[in-house]
Amino acid sequence: AIETTIPAQSREIWNKHKVQKFNTADEFQERFISHVEWTLARSLYNCDDLAAYQATSQSVRDNLVIDWNKTQQRQTARDPKRVYYLSLEFLMGRALDNALINMRTDTDVRDVGDTDETLTKGNTSREMIKNAMNELGFKLEDILDEEPDAALGNGGLGRLAACFVDSMATGNYPAWGYGLRYQYGIFAQKIINGYQVETPDYWLNFTNPWEIERAEIQVPINFYGYVDRGQNEKSTLEPSDWIGGERVLAVPYDMPIPGFKTSTVNNLRLWSAKPTTEFDFKKFNNGDYKNSVEEQQRAESITAVLYPNDNFLQGKELRLKQQYFWCAASLHDIVRRFKKGKRAWSEFPDAIAIQINDTHPTLAIVELQRILVDLEKLDWHEAWKIVTSTFAFTNHTVMQEALEKWPISLLGRLLPRHLEIIYDINWFFLQDVEKKFPHDMDLLSRVSVIEESSQERQVRMAYLAIIGSHKVNGVAELHSDLIKTTIFKDFVKIYGSNKFTNVTNGITPRRWLKQANPKLAQLISETINDPEDNYLLDMSKLTQLSKYAEDEKFQKKWNDVKQFNKQRLADLIKKLNNGVDIIERDHIRNTLFDIQVKRIHEYKRQQMNIFGVIHRYLTMKELLQSGASIEEVVKKYPRKVSIFGGKSAPGYYMAKLIIKLINSVADVVNNDKEIQDLLKVYFIPDYNVSKAEIITPASDLSEHISTAGTEASGTSNMKFVMNGGLIIGTVDGANVEITREIGEDNIFLFGNLAENVDELRYKHQFHNEGVPASLAKVLDAMQNGAFSPQNHSEFMPLIDSIKSHGDYYLVSDDFEAYISTQELVDQVYHKDKKEWLKKSILSVANIGFFSSDRCIEEYADTIWNAEPVKPE
């Protein structure tokens, strides 16, 4: 259907010069050199690592683009139901190594026994390119290191979106991601004198070879203005004219998303804001040239920067502008594509599923209703049926402070027509509720999209998202249950519980196993006799590892891989620590690497972790001072390094103080001669995806210790287990299902349960029972300036939050259990290494459930009703 209008002659020429993928090292080298010379205008004599990275990326991208085009053509021809994943964040990290692993060349298709000399061990295009680069005089590892992270996200939510696009391509789903192309991603974190300092992340500094600008597509987006309903005052339900007051253009940048072992290459479309070319003629003619240009330039600020908050809402006008800009541009694109198919509007939900990642894209629901009613002139109710059958909503938090609410005044000024539509949606919704539950005024005010109780009337975005969707899901079982019994309880009553469902999060094993941990991946593929890495598509194959769990030879290999990865992390830390080793090389093997890396937040309880470290330190000192020998101390407290990493939101005072405390404790402990190498503390600055790829494989133990009921799922817990690390954790988020899958013998769980949290908080509010002795010891030392000799009160806010302000995160309730569980960890790790290795192997063997491929299948089957489009 696409080709019929093209004359035979043109088609012939086109076919004769059909672009070809490189398939061999030789072809790659040719492509590489042509990019160095033509694309970069450089040469053999000035091709440094950065240029080599860019030329390699351009070459690999050429291959991807060929498959990208074919994928789009195939999808257009077959016209399947399409999936759109709307997320304000895509925390992609680096693209090149991932593309090398996922990319398909003929090299990969050939048999293992092929004699082609470029096909050395591994038989993959990654190996082939590595060797080809060597011949050209470059080391692949160095080249990969030149790439800046695409850090367009804050944490778990953004990284989840990145894993999902990988799995959607791998599963051959006709699915696009839609997001924003921020010019500045999440800030880079520096640690100066122990404090976090933020610096801008200008990731596009050296141009981005992974994006394709579509400058010819420019979607006009309006803001402000007023609604015109003509002379005779029509109803707001009828088509209305929104006369926008400010206009900017949305220009898409496309990123190819290659699937693994498939030629499907999907698209991630990120929008960038540009000024219109219309000039403000009035100002211009008044001689105010500079101001009129400045106003035009203001447009670009919409996509300038990612808001750096994690689980906290900052109600800024620019943020709402970002949201509408992106929703409107994406929907325009989606609707345009739908209209090309000339199908009836009523078929829209059969053709399209839109998943909204948290409430940030909720305006897309309103925008589609506006398009259908105002522009396409559909009847209100007909339109609303289409809208609600199209959208589905994923919730990622139950914490009040993260639930989005926008003041009516702001929303009405920025988007006057949308506010009217929201009122009408709410009006019909409340009528339905009234019919079902007559005279329940309390219920009506509780579920109203408009919150009236606060000083300022606000729009509750989560409620709007629920009303506008056909399915609502949480991200782990416990969390999905919690939203039904707490924040969305009334909606379960109204809609029934079938509208609410669970899809437990997952991670892509391509990046988080194969790419991050090549040694483990190799050991696995050898052991289960899967040289082509098919287990990365069917992770249930990992269960074959179980039979080696107690095999001593295998345990040794397993341990060697861990040792290698710990060394790799120690090298990174040395580099970050001005060339100074934290742990002596010889001691790495018998030092337990205890890691907590994630956004810094009180609910995640890094403070409890560092209190635990202080407790250990003080107790070790006591032992030594009471005359114990080092050997005796080591028996009770074996060698350990506590590693932290993560960013605090720039305005989050307590989180920043936690970072400072960690660094202050590190200062004291690491310089305490008496303690020697028995305990070390290190805060890794600027934790990001590419650092996570080094950190995750190196853990013996990782900490996932949120107050029960606060961490919706967590995804790093899965990453650590997939890399053979054990977990110390609370009964929270996906820890629950991880335990079910890998077995409770293989995880160190502790602490109060979610069901007891309310009661405990209540108790703290009304009876101050004080803190347990173990914690008191820690807090006293802090208060006495043990870690802040210049300023004894520096950490008082952390102490007060527990002792005087109700201990909202229940540190005092969980501390003793935490300490004793850590002691149990010590015992197993140091006294029974075989037992430890067995747990590690069994964990990996049973972690398959947490592949994001499984998530995507669940979304496709139970929410989107979408099918893969397989390449022939």
Contacts to ligand F58 by CB under 6 A = 154-157, 160, 309-311, 396-397, 402, 475, 505, 711-715, 733
Give the residue with the Cβ less far from ligand F58, 374 or 711: 711
Give me the least distance between CB of 446 and ligand F58, in Å please: 23
- Nearer to ligand F58 (CB atom), residue 396 or residue 417: 396
Report the residue number, 517 or 735, with the smaller CB distance to ligand F58: 735
Q: How far is the CB of 477 from ligand F58 (least distance, A)?
A: 13
CB of 98 to ligand F58, least distance (A): 20
Neighbour-count burial of 570, counting CB atoms closer than 10 A to its CB (0-12 exposed, 13-18 middle, 19+ buried): buried
The Cα 249–Cα 200 span in angstroms is 25
**Sequence-separated (6 or more) residues with CB below 8 Å from residue 219:** 249, 250, 251, 271, 328, 329, 332, 333
Q: Is 510 a catalytic residue?
A: no
What's the Cα-to-Cα distance from 365 to each of 228, 359, 361, rounded to whole Å? 22, 10, 8
Question: Residue 816: helix, strand or coil by DSSP?
Answer: helix
C-beta of 133 vs 313, nearer to ligand F58 = 313
Report how far residue 608's alpha carbon sits from residue 815's, in angstroms, rounded to the nearest whole number. Answer: 7
Q: Give the residue among 201, 712, 735, 750 at the shortest CA–CA distance from 486.
A: 712
Provide the b/e sequence for 720-751 (b: ≥16 CB within 10 Å): bbbbbbbbbbbbbbbbbbbbebbeeebbbbbb
Half-sphere exposure of 76 (CA within 13 A, CB side): 12
56, 715, 730, 821: the catalytic one is 715
Residue closer to ligand F58 (CB basis): 473 or 663: 473
Strands 246-258 and 212-213: antiparallel
Inter-residue contact 725 to 702 (CB < 8 Å) = yes
CB 357 to ligand F58: min, Å: 9
Structure tokens at 546: 């179980």
394's enclosing H/E stretch is strand 391-394
Q: Rounded to an integer, what distance in angstroms lies between the CA atom of residue 300 and that of residue 36?
A: 31
Nearer to ligand F58, 162 or 545 (CB): 162
| Contact between 180 and 270 (Cβ < 8 Å) | yes
- β-pair type (226-228, 241-243): antiparallel
**Strand-pair category, 241-243 with 212-213:** unpaired
Query: Do 102 and 260 contact (CB within 8 A), yes or no?
Result: yes
Closer residue to ligand F58 in complex, CB, 524/718: 718
Residues 598, 615, 616, 680: which is the catalytic one? 598
Active site residue 70: no
Asked whether 859 and 168 are in contact (CB, 8 A), the reply is no
Task: Give dist(CA 453, CA 140) in Å, integer.
Answer: 59
Of the two residues 685 and 733, which places its CB atom closer to ligand F58 in the complex? Answer: 733
Question: Considering beta carbons, is residue 157 or 421 the nearer one to ligand F58?
Answer: 157
- In the complex with ligand F58, the residue whose CB is nearer, 161 or 354, is 161
Q: Report the nearest approach of ligand F58 to the CB of residue 321 (Å).
A: 15
Burial class (CB in 10 A: 0-12, 13-18, 19+), 226: exposed
* 719 counts as catalytic: yes
**What is the smallest separation between the CB atom of 160 and ligand F58, expressed in angstroms?**
4
Q: Which of 181, 562, 719, 803 is catalytic?
A: 719
CB 331 within 8 A of CB 314: no
Find the catalytic residue in 31, 417, 514, 604: 604
Q: Please give the angle made by the CA atoms of 774, 776 and 779, to the nearest 5 degrees.
A: 115
Q: How far is the CB of 168 from ligand F58 (least distance, A)?
A: 16
Q: Which is nearer to ligand F58, 156 or 171 (CB)?
A: 156
Residue 717 CB, nearest distance to ligand F58 (Å)? 9
Quote the CA–CA distance of 728 and 828 in Å, as a whole number.
13
DSSP-derived 3-state class of residue 377: coil
Please state the separation of Cα 796 from the chain's center in Å: 33
**3 state SS for 676-735:** CCCEEEEEECCCCHHHHHHHHHHCCEEEECCCCCCCCCCCHHHHHHHCCCEEEEECCCCH
* Closer to ligand F58 by Cβ: residue 157 or 537: 157
Instruction: State the CB neighbour count (10 A cutoff) for residue 153.
Output: 26
First-last CA distance in the chain: 18
Catalytic residue (one of 396, 418, 471, 839): 396
Residue 604 falls in the annotated catalytic set = yes
Tell me which residue has its CB nearest to ligand F58: 156
- The vertex-211 CA angle with 207 and 217, nearest 5°, equals 115
Instruction: Write down the least CB distance from residue 367 to ligand F58, Å.
Output: 20
Closest listed residue to residue 709, CA positions, set 727, 728, 735 = 735
In contact, 661 and 607? CB cutoff 8 Å: yes
**Residue 161 CB, nearest approach to ligand F58 (Å):** 9
Specify whether the CB–CB gap between 696 and 712 falls below 8 A: no
Q: Least separation, in Å, of the C-beta of 454 and ligand F58?
A: 19
- Least spacing, CB of residue 260 vs ligand F58, in Å: 22
| Residue 803 is a catalytic residue | no
Decide if 390 is catalytic.
no
The distance of closest approach from Cβ of residue 478 to ligand F58 in the complex, given in angstroms and rounded to an integer, is 11
Q: Which two tokens stand for residue 446?
A: 């509780």
Which CB sits closer to ligand F58, 162 or 662?
162
Other C-beta atoms closer than 10 Å to the C-beta of 852 total: 27
For the annotated catalytic residues, the residue numbers are: 396, 598-599, 604, 715, 719
